[in-house]
Chain A
Amino acid sequence: MTEFLNNFPLTNLLWWVFASVAVGGGLGMVTRKNPVASLLFLVLTFFALAAIYVLLGAHFIAAIQIIVYAGAIMVLFLFVIMLLNLGHDYQSDMRGGLWIVAGFTAAGVVGFLVWNSFGSAGGIVERGGAQQIAAAVEQSNVVGAIAMPLFDNYLVHFELVGVLLLVAIVGAVLLAKRRI
């Protein structure tokens, strides 16, 4: 057993720790009745995912995950929960009976399909992406490695996403405003 632990690579050990935290946070989110507790469990999952991004070598994505997801989007959700005063005097909103069965069936089917697709392929095939990323990071730093393709190959997509955000802003104001 000690021999087993001594040969355990630290990254893999940490991966298992953060993966369990992520799955535990996800399960906590689905099962808590209180929306605020649910949301905080999801934030826990996001932090664990950021740690896993670091282990996978995507440092900038990990930073963005914490700043944008755990920071901005989750605060927006929390803000709405408090605005609507849902933090207390909540009732259980679990669907009963057949819906639970339907939920587990849907989850099982999705899980089986995804798992099956990994099983037949025998995992991810190595195509030299890690070396390519390492070279890009060497040449233009962690942020530059992502910025270069973003403003080069994906420039049109980038602009379209900007338009999408503008439409979302206008739509959100239009929907939430009492009187226009």
Chain B
Amino acid sequence: MNPLQMARDMDLSTMSLALSAILFTIGVAGVVIRRNAIILFLCVELMLNAVNLSFVAFSRSVGIDGQVFVFFVMTVAAAEAAVGLALVIAIFRHIESVDMKNFNLLRW
């Protein structure tokens, strides 16, 4: 079968799993490449969203529980964003920067 037809006829859940893998990979690359602390948090949010997408994709196969778990992931994401941004503000107050290269107090 030619690849265009495969792209057309594939199952939506399986394709969404592949999309979730790609988005997660972009998030990992962002965490490694960028130094801005806030952008790192954004990349973590992207990874959490990729996981949510795979939960929803699997919920089409195993039932509604996947969608319930998306709620828990979203709650954890909200808590993480609140505490993380509070940390960024606290650090910014001391060293006037959000660049990771200046966060060296705990580095050996």
Contacts and interface: CB of A to CB of B under 8 A. Distances in A.
Main secondary structure of the interface of A (DSSP, over half): helix
B86 A30 contact: no
Contacts of B77: 69, 73
B59 A133 contact: yes
Contacts of B26: 23, 26-27, 29-30, 107
Interface string B49-90: 100110011111111111110111011111111110111111
A127 B61 contact: yes
Contacts of B59: 56, 58, 129, 133
B83 A103 contact: no
Contact of A93 (B12, B21, B34): B34
B63 A132 contact: yes
Q: Kindly state the interface size class of chain A when it binds its partner.
A: 35 or more
Contacts of A95: 32-35
* Size range of the chain B interface in the assembly: 35 or more
A17 interface: no
Contact of B61 (A129, A153, A174, A175): A129
Given A19-B15, A110-B24, A133 B63 contact: yes
Contacts of B93: 178
Contact of A53 (B13, B56, B71): B56
Given A8-B8, A175-B83, A60 B45 contact: no
Given A73-B81, A161-B75, A35 B38 contact: yes
B91 to A, nearest CB: 10
Contacts of B14: 118, 123-124
A127 B13 CA distance: 12
B58 A107 contact: no
Contact of A129 (B39, B62, B80, B86): B62
**Cβ-closest 3 pairs across A and B:** A168-B79, A123-B14, A103-B32
Interface of B: 4-5, 7-19, 21-30, 32-36, 38-39, 41-43, 45-46, 49, 52-53, 56-68, 70-72, 74-83, 85-90, 92-93, 98-100
Interface of A: 4, 7-9, 11-12, 15-16, 19, 22-23, 26-27, 29-30, 35, 38-39, 42, 45-46, 49, 52-53, 55-58, 60-61, 64-65, 68-69, 72-73, 76-77, 80-81, 83-84, 86, 93-95, 99-100, 102-104, 106-108, 110-111, 114-115, 118, 123-127, 129-130, 132-133, 136, 145-146, 149-150, 153-154, 157, 161, 164-165, 167-169, 171-176, 178
